[in-house]
Chains A and B, each alone.
Chain A
Amino acid sequence: MLPSDFIGRIFFILDIYGISLLRGAGITIVIALISTFLGCVIGLIVGIIQTIPTYAGQNPVKRFFLGVVKFILNAYIEIFRGTPMMVQAMFIYYGLAKVFGIFMDMWSAAIFIVSINTGAYMAETVRGGILSIDPGQTEGAKSIGMTHYQTMLYIILPQAIRNIMPQIGNNLIINIKDTCVLSVISIVELFYVARGIAGTYYTYFEAFTIAMVIYFILTFICSRILRWIERKMDGPDNYDLATSDTLMHTSGMYTHPKVYGKKLGEEERRD
């Protein structure tokens, strides 16, 4: 039967429910990863659309259409940020089915709810990330003839995404923890499993100790991996001076239409 000491009870639970707990943790992390990814995609798209400039002399139909789209997206952000995810889960999974006959299976509903919430938060983060990039970057891009689309794709977004990486990490960690509200639509994630164990044996302290530890391990590993990705994105701290070989290879072959003779800034180069 149930051991009398704390450590004993922990091992007892792990022995019987180890597999269920692992499966619950797996479901938690899978839902969190997929939803964070989809949420970031939604957030990127919405954030990018919201920063499309409108200017005088633009095609009025296009301008009107853009205005309507931006209004709808704003409403989406406000509604999903402004209501609790648990209530949304009940509303979407049970409410929509009952009133409109829209049936979603449990898994689609779960991923849909978490993604759409993450998307609402990420949209604002992406918008802020785009706006925080020095306008000089846009001007530099425009000055060599890039279109708005090219400027976004090659110059602004790579920098904005790098800057919002900590926020993406934040959202992933929040999602790992917040999947526990999905237990209200019967998703058997980690919290659901732990609550079941606690109820069966009256071992609240032990079951939730294990749940706490697993949640922490999941979030800690994720935050470390994200840090590592950030460092990779930053590239090396130092640069190598190019050797004369690579220079000769290119400069010797290129023939330029204009007559550009001597090297410029030669006398000043003393690095």
Chain B
Amino acid sequence: MRDVILEVQHLSKSFGKNSVLRDIDFTVRLGDVTSIIGASGSGKSTLLRCINLLEEPTSGKILFHGQNIADHGSDASSYRAKVGMVFQSFNLFNNMTVLQNCMIGITKVLKHPKSEAKERAMHYLEKVGMAPYINAKPRQLSGGQKQRVAIARALAMEPEMLLFDEPTSALDPQMVGEVLAVMRTLAQEGLTMIVVTHEMAFAKEVSTNVVFMSNGVICESGEPSAIFDTPSDPKTQEFLFRFRNN
């Protein structure tokens, strides 16, 4: 069996009285591509944000290499440096060029020298096909280009795991393909990924595991063929049925 990287145990999250996640359990192994699917408002983003500590879990454990990072004492910044995140709204740094966006984490967080940071940043920008745009500011790019830079920025930190929160939802249809192509290659290369997505074809084709969420709980999880072809939970069946008929 491959090494376990992340283990989420009995994770719950409430905003005030509003309970958004209840007793979430799942495991991510090295090289897994886990797709999280589910209706709007089912808590997918909240789960991903808890995993990256952008939200503080109300209870439960998040074990990263066996160490509970949901603990107050743990160092959130150094953990986040190892777990990248790609957002629906890109969140590129508006005051920096494409190249600076990809370098700043390497120089300031990992504290590598500038020359090395530049080489690394260029390498990943090249990988996502954005190398010619190093001098552009985010506002001068299309949505698909921004998202590819955001992926390069996350990759440049050389994280052990990369989280994607609906990376293509804010894009025009013709730009979705370019971002999914990048993600597909990353998956093939063995990068560990957790992807919240509404792109069912992508989830079915690329993932190693699929997690279906409904109302803050995991209803069903398993291999993509099991979830998509022979779903056992009626909620999963209904969700997929509605999805196909849209």
Interface residues of A, Cβ cutoff 8 Å to B: 55-57, 134, 136-137, 139-147, 150, 154-155, 158-159, 162, 235, 238-242, 246-247, 250-251, 253-254, 256-269, 271
Contact = CB atoms under 8 A, between A and B. Distances in A.
B190 to A, nearest CB: 8
B50 interface: no
Interface residues of A: mostly helix, strand, loop or mixed? loop
A139 B89 CA distance: 11
A159 B94 contact: yes
Q: Bin the interface of chain B by size.
A: 35 or more
Contact of B185 (A239, A240, A262): A262
Contacts of A242: 131-135
A143 B93 contact: no
B122 A146 contact: no
Interface in B122-167: 122-123, 126-129, 131-137, 140, 144-145, 148, 150, 153-154, 157-158
Nearest to A258: B189
Contacts of B131: 242, 247, 251
18 contacts: A142-B52, A145-B79, A146-B109, A154-B108, A235-B137, A239-B133, A242-B132, A250-B122, A251-B122, A251-B123, A259-B189, A260-B189, A263-B127, A265-B148, A267-B181, A268-B144, A268-B177, A269-B178
B99 to A, nearest CB: 9
Given A142-B80, A143-B154, A269-B178, A253 B135 contact: no
B72 interface: yes
Given A159-B95, A264-B127, A143 B84 contact: yes
A249 B193 CA distance: 31
B91 A139 contact: yes
B137 A239 contact: yes
Nearest to A244: B132
A251 B77 contact: no
Contacts of B181: 264-265, 267-268
A144 B154 contact: yes
A145 B160 CA distance: 13
A147 B137 CA distance: 23
Interface string B79-94: 1111011010111111
A271 B178 CA distance: 12
Given A144-B157, A150-B109, A239 B178 contact: no
Nearest to B126: A251
B126 A247 contact: yes
A140 B84 contact: no
B199 interface: no
Most chain B CB within a 10 A radius of its CB, from A145, A238, A269: A145
Nearest to B134: A242
Contacts of B134: 242, 246
Contact of B56 (A56, A254, A258): A56
B157 to A, nearest CB: 5
B217 to A, nearest CB: 25
Given A144-B153, A259-B189, A266 B80 contact: no
B78 interface: yes
